[in-house]
Chain A
């Protein structure tokens, strides 16, 4: 059946309720809500979440925005927490302590800080062990919860509070880590990179695949942050779209080792289109800094070509 947003929303009430305290214009709750909509309504889920914006704004004692079972412990171990819950599920099912017809799914959330950086080891371990779970990274490209410090997901030249655009050093001097590919190299059954574009079609369908693929799955989802990126809150969906149309954030999936690039823009937009509306890149548009935009564009192009090559190579007969 063809995807239809109105129908999905009508038939699947949100499992992540209103009343949470995430900022207006933040991508993370939009992503979280849509990922959970991909669950079959009759299925139960246990959600684990790393410390970060999404956790501290949604589960402040005695309130919670999560209607499913939810576990938070610390910053770096959302994946390890989920692997323990999943192991318990297997053991209790085997011992007949959970009803036979109960289907529980395991979804771990983490921001890029809790995933690319401090939680990378725990994520890698859980994926390698092949727990039947999905890890969802909502990637906003910096440590936003503590006040916009650079992470290994922060794009080059971005102005953050620990990579400020200074008089000598013009922002973060390193390119971002390519986590989706690192996860693909764990040779797990399903890895995808996605964003909330085109009525959430890509995000919804990939979430559904990730949740209902047996074994470990990983989703890397773009989650813009109005405070950290410096865009107007009402522009969230436009920023998502520009990230995809410039190929800064390609939509792709790796199914049993085969790459599929899900969207190839007919008219790839120049990277300036994505950079310009964001205050974190403002200094790149000052006279004399043209080289920064050029360099950024080169890196986007290089990675896009590499991705297309991977698609070609992994699909050869």
Chain B
């Protein structure tokens, strides 16, 4: 029997980590992910896990120590937000290039500057080309479930890539909601033992990790990373299927909410999907054929599958909780429009940058997007595809 609980998103992430019982956790506090290492160090000091907790002096060292621990042959985890991830940036790329299946909890927050501690996705978008698998979570349940599935995906022999589980800072990390936890022993069995083929602490077969890799080899090595990311797509679905058998909860690359007959659709990630579902329901009552595509797997990017899911709608709005400041549109919008074009789907698309620095996004805001979409669907006209939602006039 699963366990019904009431937990915040940070608690849910920490509980998942407790059940996973990794060998090493190295982390540094930063709002709003601070609670994760706080809860976790309590588990360590109360003997509820047998993890080595390394209270590092910075996020750069958090990732450097996690890399060291994972390369040594252990299962290593960390958690961070915003500027913490920015400080890790150099090591983020190195972690994936060394093919180390580190798992990180990223509690999304606006990257400075100016300083802001609230939620947007600018931290995650800053590492979108770093070679990490990136899973997004609508609520505490999904943050928990994604973490339980994380090691199975990251450590798979065809993948061997680091993975981050994103959730929205404060909105889900600090909101207490109902959650269904899986029993400890079931999580343990599901996650399994980590037995890497090659690792630093293997005295019988010493290895050297992290060479100077010049013109003769780097290109091929980078291509191997790219292949691994492609392989991750299959593995993500296999792990989700097994997870569903255990819990009854279904996961895929994305969730299609009332998309079967939808004429207008929003694409978004994380907690905004919850608000959007509420608006879709109320519009459906009024006879508006609204739908939602909630993206869970942002890296690898399921381009073909998204294009297929959106091919029959008359207008799509992509919501970006981060501005790319490029005079063209947000990162998610660009990925999705590119996916549509390459897969020869011609659907009018519009981009809304929203929620920057924790600006509240209400159901009225989402409804206004659907109203705009209804107009676009009718006329096929888009005067400006790069728009803002909730910006004070």
Contact = CB atoms under 8 A, between A and B. Distances in A.
User: Which of A85, A88, A102 is packed against the most chain B CB atoms within 10 Å?
Assistant: A88
B73 to A, nearest CB: 6
Contact of A61 (B23, B66, B67, B213): B213
Contact of B94 (A68, A73, A84): A73
A88 B217 CA distance: 30
Contacts of B90: 74
A104 interface: yes
Contact of B60 (A62, A67, A77, A92): A77
A88 B74 contact: yes
B331 interface: no
Interface residues of B, number: 44
A293 to B, nearest CB: 40
Contacts of B262: none
A124 B57 contact: yes
Contacts of B73: 88, 92, 97
Contacts of A59: 208, 210-212
Nearest to B94: A73
A67 B207 CA distance: 8
Nearest to B60: A77
Interface string B199-211: 0111100111111
A99 B201 CA distance: 10
Among B69, B94, B208, max chain A CB count under 10 A is at: B208
A193 interface: no
Contacts of A209: none
Interface residues of A, number: 48
B115 interface: no
A82 B201 CA distance: 12
A17 B11 CA distance: 50
Contacts of B57: 121-122, 124-125, 128
Contacts of A94: 50
A85 B50 contact: no
A55 B208 CA distance: 11
A81 B55 contact: no
B24 A91 contact: yes
B72 A46 contact: yes
B211 A125 contact: no
Nearest to B202: A69
B316 interface: no
B68 A71 contact: yes
B68 A81 contact: yes
Nearest to B21: A95
A66 B69 contact: no
B64 to A, nearest CB: 4
Max chain A CB contacts within 10 Å: which of B70, B94, B206?
B206
B38 interface: no
The interface centre, meaning the residue of B65, B206, B209, B210 with most chain A CB atoms within 10 A of its CB, is B65
B288 interface: no
Nearest to A60: B212
Interface string B145-171: 000000000000000000000000000
B132 to A, nearest CB: 16
A44 interface: yes
Contacts of B211: 59-62, 64, 72
Interface string A81-123: 1111111111110110111001010000000000000000110
B54 interface: yes
20 contacts: A44-B203, A60-B214, A64-B211, A66-B208, A69-B202, A70-B207, A73-B67, A77-B60, A83-B26, A83-B68, A87-B74, A88-B69, A88-B73, A88-B74, A91-B69, A95-B50, A122-B60, A122-B64, A125-B56, A125-B58
Given A70-B209, A73-B64, A77-B91, 7 more contacts: A84-B67, A87-B74, A88-B24, A88-B74, A88-B201, A89-B72, A99-B203
